Structures are given as structure tokens and as C-alpha cells.
Amino acid sequence: MMKKMVYNWKSWWRSLHKNNYFVIKLCISILLVGLAIRLLHNRSSDFPPVSDIPLLQNAQISTPPVLSDQIIPQGYGLESIDNEGKCNLFTGDWIPSQDEPFYTNRSCNFIEEPQNCMKNGRSDTDYLYWRWKPRGCDLPRLDPNRFLDLMRNKSWALIGDSISRNHVQSFLCTLSTVEKAIEVYHDENYKSRRWIFPSYNFTVSVIWSPFLAEAAIFEDMNGVSSSEIELHLDVLDKNWTELYKDLDYMVFSSGKWFVKSAIYYENNNILGCHYCPKRNLTELGFNFAYRKVIRKVFDYIIASNHKGMIFYRTSTPDHFEDGEWFSGGSCKRKLPAKEGEFGLNELNKILRVIELEEFEKASVKASENGVNLKLFDVNPLSLLRPDGHPGPYRFFQPFAKDKNVKVINDCLHWCLPGPIDSWNDLMMEMVVNG
């Protein structure tokens, strides 16, 4: 059973202020400029100009690692078998596996450069040879032929932030071992895209909607923002609502973008904000906004009468060690962690508690309404994979010129191939066996 936790936002916020918050803030602005320059140098011309920095920038609140003995929902129900006698796919272990990944740094050109760890010079490969083993059952590997067969005339969409984009690359690479997907749409900045597997008439979209709600974002390509985000807590983002009824399968997710400075609106009126010291507005805390928006998304889904399958993917933790992303934090591990070795930090914990509480409420109403809403709880299994991030290898050959050069690590997104390839196995299992 999940313990209810009432989060005392204000006291947390105050303690941050005491703890050199402004020094940290200053460091960030300096580093962001440096980062922007780096990125411009590293951008290769044949690649969609999409930066992943906006997500990294979210770590602008320093959150101390928290040990796992805290009151925190680790798995959604720790039982291996749920009360309907079904295997809980998300309670399990990473076990060694001989299987080669479905694709390599060369065979799949859907891998975006910052996630192509091997090509970028990561030389260890042990992190590739693990598979997720639920305790109550076996999880078969996705069978791309069978999956595509099941998906004739169907459409999928992964909806969310850059972790969704990370996932779609893995999904496309895996399925493209049977037939290469062809891009049929992209927006100006290659953030929302759509592909088709022609002989299956199967479409896969990634829809950029980091808040899931309507938001005006004042950021340039490198994630440097010129003003607070204007987030409308009561209006869902048209980027996905307009496509919603035509999609057969959807995977929703959100999370870290909510930590950013934002002004919150409801009915077009300002309600307050999160981190807006220059404005005379009430600090509401990002947890307030996150809960409101998630609830709004679930209400929409519940009321929709949608006949497809809707996954709610939990947000994934980062694994910065010995610092945050802006203070030399890194992720140098080469193997999965042992259970309990990593706990969620304060920020990820706040997000997770809201996600699970709101899902729990929504899933009851969804099943009453005949809407097929499923929890895709990748958080606990991701927590065990500190070895799966690009770290310095988000950049091409970062140490080629100088072995000791200091680079900003990415311990948030995932190498491809890598641990999130198992997300596809989980999706197939949920599609096939409900």
C-alpha cells in the first residue's frame, strides 16, 4: 500500500534558500552560456537541430540525494502478483542477458547524436547485456514481426518531453529491423514527428508537449529562456488533443519541465507562479501545477470514450553522482545498481507521489467508463540503471583532444541502444496480454 504523503512545499523551498540557492542560480546562468556555445560547436549539419538542454536545465534546484528508507512508493504495489492474479511487470530485477541489442550505432539512423553513446566514444558495453525480469513472470522480448503484424492500420503516439523523444528512437530502431520507417511529417524544429511503416500502414508519432497543457515557452534552441513560461493549468495542449481521437495507442508522460520558472494561469487569470522572484506573485510550487495538469489530462481521458489503449508513463529519475549537472555531477557506472542503492531525490519523489496518487484515482474512473488506461511504471526499473546514461558521451568524442577536459554530463537521457529498449518489450506485453 502506498503511504499518503503530504508534501510541505514551503519548508522545502525555504531550506533551499538557506542553502546557497542564489550561488547555485548564478552558476547556472554562467554554465548555460558555456553550454550553449558547446552545443553550437557540436551540432552536425545533417542532424535535426533539437537540443536536450531544456530538460537538463530543470535541475536548477539543487536536490540532495535521499536514501531509500524514506516514505516513498518504489514500485506501484511491491507485490509481484497483483490482486487480480496478474504479474506485476514493473516489480523485478535486471538480469544478465546474452542477447545482442536489436540495433547498433550504425544500423539505425533514427538515433539522435546525443544518445548515440557508442558513436560518441563510450567504449564499455556491459550496460547493453541486461534484460528486465519481472519477479512474477517472464517478459518476452518484443518480436518486431509480430508486433508490426498486430499494428496493421494502427497508430501510436508518444506524447511528452525529450524522454519520449528518446523512447521513440528506440521504438523505431527496434521495429525498423523488419521494415524501415519513413518520416512523413515533422514540425519546424523536429520536435513533433511522424513516421510510417509502409507495408503495415502503421504510423508512429512523437508529439512534443512537455507540459501536456498549453504553455508559452520563451526559450531558444539551447534552452536559454528569456522569460518565465506561461502555463495554462486548465487548458490541455492542442498538440495532442487535436490528434487524440485518431490515435489507437498513446503513451503520455511529463515531469521535469514543471520545475522551471513559470507563471500559472487559470481562466486566463494569473493564479500565481513557481520561482518568479522578480514578480509580485504568490509562489504556488510546481507540485501544485503538476497535480492540476495531470488531473486535467486524466479527466480528459476518462471522459473521452476512447476505444484504444492509453499508457501513462511515469517520469524517470536522473543519476547524477558527486554533484548536479551544473556542478560536476556525473554518471560513470558501468553496471546496474543494486536495489536500494539509489533512492529518488527530493524532486523526483515529489513528481512520483503525484503521479501515483492521481493515477490511482483516475484508473478507477477510467475502468468504470470502459477506457483502457494503464500505468506504464518505468520509474523503478529506470532507477536501477545509472549505467545507461550518455554522461559525457552526449558530445561526439568529448575526450579526443584533451583527456581531462571538463564536460557537462547527461545523466538524464538514455544511451541507444540501452536500457529503455526494454520499454518496448513491456509495451508489447501489455498490448498482447492486456
- CB 317, min distance to ligand NAG, A: 23
- Closest by CA to 189, choosing from 252, 239, 242, 123, is 239
Q: Cα–Cα distance between 414 and 394 in angstroms, integer?
A: 10
| Nearer to ligand NAG (CB atom), residue 54 or residue 336 | 54
Catalytic residue list contains 205: no
Nearer to ligand NAG, 237 or 318 (CB): 237
DSSP character for 49?
A: -
Whether the CB-CB separation of 331 and 386 falls below 8 Å is answered with yes
Q: How far is the CB of 203 from ligand NAG (least distance, A)?
A: 7
Shortest Cβ 316–ligand NAG spacing (Å): 19
**Choice between 144 and 380, CB closer to ligand NAG:** 144
Exactly one of 32, 215, 416, 426 binds ligand NAG (CB under 6 A); that residue is 215
**Active-site pick, 162, 205, 330, 422:** 162
Q: One symbol per residue from 335 to 374: x for binding ligand NAG (CB under 6 A), - otherwise; what is it?
A: ----------------------------------------
**DSSP-derived 3-state class of residue 300:** helix
Task: Give the interface size with ligand NAG as a residue count (CB under 6 A).
Answer: 24
Terminal Cα-to-Cα distance of the chain (whole angstroms): 23
Site pattern 159..188 for ligand NAG (x: CB under 6 A) = ----------------------------x-
Beta-carbon contacts of 302 under 8 Å, excluding residues fewer than 6 positions away, are 362, 365, 366, 369, 371, 373
Assess contact for 390 and 410: CB atoms under 8 A: yes
The stretch near ligand NAG (CB under 6 A) out of 11-19, 132-140, 147-155, 369-377 is: 147-155
Q: Does 431 bind ligand NAG (CB under 6 A)?
A: no
From candidates 42, 68, 97, 104, binder to ligand NAG by CB under 6 A: 104
226 binds ligand NAG (CB under 6 A): no
Q: d(Cα 161, Cα 327) in Å, to the nearest integer?
A: 24
With contacts defined by CB under 6 A, name the span among 2-10, 11-19, 201-209, 220-228 that binds ligand NAG.
201-209
Catalytic residue among 318, 413, 421, 422: 413
Residue 31 buriedness (CB in 10 A; 0-12 / 13-18 / 19+): middle
Q: Is 86 in the site for ligand NAG (CB under 6 A)?
A: no
- Contact window for ligand NAG (CB under 6 A) among 24-32, 135-143, 150-158, 267-275: 150-158
Shortest distance in whole angstroms from residue 186 CB to ligand NAG: 9
Question: Does the active-site annotation cover 413?
Answer: yes
> Alpha-carbon distance 55 to 160, whole Å?
12
Catalytic residue among 52, 318, 387, 410: 410
Ranges of beta strands (E only) in 292-345 are 309-313
From CA 33, how far away is CA 329, in angstroms rounded? 18
DSSP E strand stretches across 97-137: 130-134
The reply to whether 209 belongs to the active site is no
**In the sheet where 193-197 sits, what is the strand order?**
182-186, 193-197, 202-208, 155-160, 249-252, 309-313, 372-376
Least Å distance, CB 76 to ligand NAG, is 27
Q: Measured from the CB atom, is 87 or 233 closer to ligand NAG?
A: 233
Q: Considering only the stretches 63-71, 167-175, 211-219, 350-358, report the one whose residues sit in contact with ligand NAG under the rule CB under 6 A.
A: 211-219
Measured distance CA(396)–CA(229) in Å, rounded: 31
Contacts of 389 (CB under 8 A, 6+ apart): 318, 319, 331, 409, 410, 411, 412, 413, 414, 415
Segment 237 to 266, residues that bind ligand NAG, using CB under 6 A: 237, 239
Is residue 228 within 8 Å of 288, Cβ to Cβ?
A: no
**CA-closest candidate to residue 209, choices 121, 134, 137, 296:** 296
Q: How far is the CB of 153 from ligand NAG (least distance, A)?
A: 4
The answer to whether 105 contacts ligand NAG (rule: CB under 6 A) is yes
Positions in 16-75 near ligand NAG (CB under 6 A)? none
Options 24-32, 79-87, 189-197, 403-411: segment touching ligand NAG (CB under 6 A): 189-197
- Residue 252 grid cell: 503520455
d(CA 372, CA 365) in angstroms, rounded, equals: 11
- CA of residue 1 relative to chain centroid, distance: 25
Residues recognised as catalytic? 162, 410, 413
Q: Which residues bind ligand NAG (CB under 6 A)?
A: 104-107, 118-119, 152-153, 155, 187, 189, 191-192, 201, 208-211, 214-215, 217, 237, 239, 280
